[in-house]
Structure 1
């Protein structure tokens, strides 16, 4: 009995294994049919793309990320039934595939051009203002009978008004203002006072050494002369101290080489610099533009 029962169970097991082997092909068949269905659904979906919705999607992505975004290489051109080949180089700005920046986008090149044009315009306007000031200063000297009382030129700081100190502002080795020097400063004062620019008063000497009880060297002499001119402009012409500075340069910035016979007289001077109201980086442009026309002689 037990042997017969065992044989029956083995028979059932063998029949079950044979049944599994016959059904296995259905799994592969179902997988293949599923993949084919998905393939045809994808092909159908691609053939029915709405170009307007596609463009709206691209625009939305561009707005969200803050930069031009293309869903597919080539952009909307891929929706064209003609199937044009995407370009090798992608357009920089714009979600519409053009090289023109879209609304709300910044073109760095145009910004740089605008900044440069603005700086050039500011320099040109300031140089014109300083030229007008030079004209007024020259006319003031002429009215006072001191046509040759000062020379004018431009450098990287602005308009430089040069007054010779040799028996004009000061006598040799002295920092006491002379009557003729006071007349020159009185003629220049009203125009200098009316300008919005800062003023720098610079004292210069020639290379002849000096050593006295009052001045140990040309540094002290040049600084004291510049300081006395600044104080005179404040006291007699009411130019505020806050608008002025002074510096003594001794013989470190000569106008003429020491080999030139004129250097002894020409290098001994005081300069009043009308400082240009532009960025310091534009100093060379101020000098070049200011000296383009006209001479730097006393009449100018």
Structure 2
């Protein structure tokens, strides 16, 4: 009897040791099924895929963008406030459609916008005339013109305008200043005149206390010429002296100091009220 019980216990213990193989076999079977399903799903119908992608592309191309206050893909969203042109039908000339849309939707320019546009045309014309004048009179080393963000800047070297340490205009500078005055007369904007010096102290023979007084006096001399001699409108001018605080070159060299001794006349991008 005891032997029979021991034999049954050994059989039961052997069976329990092999039960993990059933779970393992089930897991392997499930994984195999999973990969078969994934493989089956990964096989695309190329023709159906092409049809779907083409349909999506046509839908989004013909839609009116909501981000630009359009009426959306379906054409029903905010359709009364849509600012985008209607989508063109296949075969329609895009250039013709754009011209038609622009002719009907473009807003007319305001008076201020038209004034700014007119002023910009005048500034570009002014710059070309001055460039031609500089070239024809061989003044490249004494007069410089540049189109900056604030306006058209005409830089005059101090050698062209003044003697050393003085603020009285040279007689030879009147021809150029008269030419500039004739151009300024046609403009309706503000003209800024700025005097600049190098960082060297004023000599004993000068009547000016320092570079601040000298730079301001030189700018004022140019301003006085435009107002008193050329009879331009004083309300269209402003002037300032900056001494050596705004150098355009290195003050440690003679060539750099020469560039810093200058008067800048800037026709500002600014409308008169």
Give the TM-score taking structure 2 as reference length: 0.55
Matches within 5 A, 1:81-230: 98-102=76-80, 126-141=119-134, 145=137, 147-148=139-140, 149-165=142-158, 167-210=159-202, 212=204, 214-230=207-223
Could you report, residue by residue, the CA deviation over 1:72-100 in whole angstroms, capped at 9, with x for unpaired residues? xxxxxxxxxxxxxxxxxxxx998x99333
* Structure showing greater Rg: 1
Whole-Å separation in 2 of the counterparts to 1:101 and 1:252: 58
> Which ranges of structure 1 fall in alignment gaps of 5 or more residues?
1-91, 108-113, 280-300
Whole-Å separation in 1 of the counterparts to 2:132 and 2:169: 23
Shift in alpha-carbon separation, 1:205–1:106, aligned structure 2, 3 A: same
Whole-Å separation in 1 of the counterparts to 2:115 and 2:183: 22
CA contact (8 A) 1:201 1:270 kept: yes
Shift in alpha-carbon separation, 1:123–1:242, aligned structure 2, 3 A: closer
Report the equivalent of 2:53: none
SS in 1 for 2:185: helix
CA contact (8 A) 1:175 1:225 kept: yes
Could you report, residue by residue, the CA deviation over 1:91-124 in whole angstroms, capped at 9, with x for unpaired residues? x998x99333525x999xxxxxx99x99999877
Whole-Å separation in 2 of the counterparts to 1:101 and 1:174: 71
Matches within 5 A, 1:271-290: 271-277=264-270
Q: Report deviation, 1:268.
A: 0.2
Whole-Å separation in 2 of the counterparts to 1:189 and 1:121: 25
CA contact (8 A) 2:188 2:271 kept: no
Whole-Å separation in 1 of the counterparts to 2:234 and 2:219: 13
Report the equivalent of 2:252: 259
SS in 1 for 2:189: coil
Q: Do residues 235 (structure 1) and 232 (structure 2) align?
A: no
* Number of residues of Structure 1 aligned to a counterpart in Structure 2: 177
Shift in alpha-carbon separation, 1:258–1:191, aligned structure 2, 3 A: same
Q: Which has the higher contact order (CA 8 A, sep 6+)?
A: 1
CA RMSD of aligned residues (A): 3.5
Report the equivalent of 1:268: 261
SS in 2 for 1:185: helix
Shift in alpha-carbon separation, 1:180–1:197, aligned structure 2, 3 A: same
